[in-house]
Amino acid sequence: MGIHRNVMGRILDMLPELLTYEPHDDIYPLLDFLLNEVRIPYPDVQKSILRCPRLLVSSIENRLRPALCFLKELGFVGPHSLTCQTTLLLVSSVEDTLLPKVEFLMGLGFTRVEVSNMIVRSPGLLTLSVANNLAPKVEFFLKEMNGDVAELKMFPQFFSFSLERRIKPRHVLLVQLGLSLPLQEMLQVSDGGFDSMLLELRLRALEGRHE
């Protein structure tokens, strides 16, 4: 499959039970599933496995196929089908991991279609903890930033940024300077780009005062 021996060593160290697997009974069915049901191109199968070795030890019937069906219902079809970058979602439990994220977002007032669109645009949402990630960020956005949940629909990538290292510090700085920015402009740029943006905004504000 193109997986180098030293890399395989790290996978076996992580998943020693693989040494007891029968290739024809346990490994080939996974390859068939990835190639023919998920429709991952053969050259990308190894990328899927390297990105998420747990695919090799996950039950197709009890874990991978139910997750695939759920993800397809969410909108991971056609041009948004799973790729080697997102097949790691397949090892997640529908009931314990995937569904709670969808229900949390719908609890904010979004429709199922809106939530599906958000997740398809930002699949990483399904890898985040509701209690430790999604909920604290929503609380800060609504209470401290006086945000509108509609903006989260437009920019679901908000959830992928660190609350302590990026969202809070940048918001505090904007408040101190009496400035405001849309979420996308506030978060997507690098630290250097953000500083340059603030400088430009402050210069514009000063120019406006002198006119």
Mean pLDDT of 50-79: 96
Tell me: pLDDT of 207 over 80. Answer: no
Q: What is the rounded average pLDDT of the residues 22-41?
A: 95
Using CA atoms, how far apart are residues 120 and 118, in angstroms rounded to an integer?
A: 6
What is the overall mean pLDDT for the chain?
A: 92
Query: Which two tokens mark 59?
Result: 């039950």
- What pTM did the predictor assign? 0.84
Residue 208 confidence (pLDDT): 60
Contacts of 85 (CB under 8 A, 6+ apart): 47, 51
pLDDT (0 to 100) of residue 179? 85
Question: Could you give the CA distance from residue 179 to residue 174 in angstroms, rounded to a whole number?
Answer: 5
**Between 198 and 102, where is the model more confident?**
102
The C-alpha atoms of residue 183 and residue 174 are separated, in whole angstroms, by: 12
Instruction: Check residue 137 and give its pLDDT.
Output: 96
Eight-state DSSP code of residue 161: S
**pLDDT (tens digit, 9 = 90+) per residue, 164-190?**
999 999 999 999 888 888 999 999 999
Q: 89-136 pLDDT, tens per residue?
A: 999 999 999 999 999 999 998 999 999 999 999 999 999 999 999 999
Per-residue model confidence (pLDDT) at position 120: 94
d(CA 67, CA 61): 10
